[in-house]
Amino acid sequence: MKSDLEKLLNELNSIDFFQKDELCVIGCSTSEIKGSRIGSNGSIDIAQTIYNCLLNIHNETGVHFVFQGCEHINRAITIEREIFDPYLMTEVSVVPQKNAGGSLSTYAYNHMKDPIVVEFIKVDKGIDIGQTLIGMHIKHVAVPISIESKTVGEAIVTVARSRPKLIGGERAKY
């Protein structure tokens, strides 16, 4: 699993996917990574491995990772307080738990410097490990990124970035 994740992150890093001060949402089912049905068999150990690999990428590139919880906390996002923007985000009162938030959000919350959870966020890009449906948190227009790394463990990986909307019709120039 760790080698799959490192391969994925190295591939994305090689195409300059990670940019300083951008936000990247991570959706992750540790159950799916293990080959189980989403939400059925979470693993804090797998979450720790993923978090530490992402922390290395953050330290190397300056990208900020934010972590989507599961449906039991309405896919709320765990973030560092320092990136909280009260004009764009609403803090909520919940602490992710392994069975209500997911293993990765729980691990992130317990290991960030000053974590908070926000209801909703719009970010430039995201990585979805295990079909957790991160699209609601990516800015319009979401564009899938074609990658060679298709899985982490047994989980399907989908990567997307956003681009500005094209507006103005046939006479507009882009």
- Percent pLDDT > 70 in the chain is 100
Whole-prediction pTM: 0.95
Mean pLDDT of the chain: 96
Look up the domain containing 99 and give its range: 2-171
SS3 content of the chain, % helix, strand, coil (to 5): 30, 25, 45
Structural domains in the chain (count): 1
Burial, 138: exposed, middle or buried (Cβ in 10 Å; 0-12, 13-18, 19+)? Answer: buried
- Residues of the chain below pLDDT 50: none
Domain of residue 144, CATH code: 3.40.50.10360
1-46 pLDDT, tens digit per residue, is 999 999 999 999 999 999 999 999 999 999 999 999 998 999 999 9
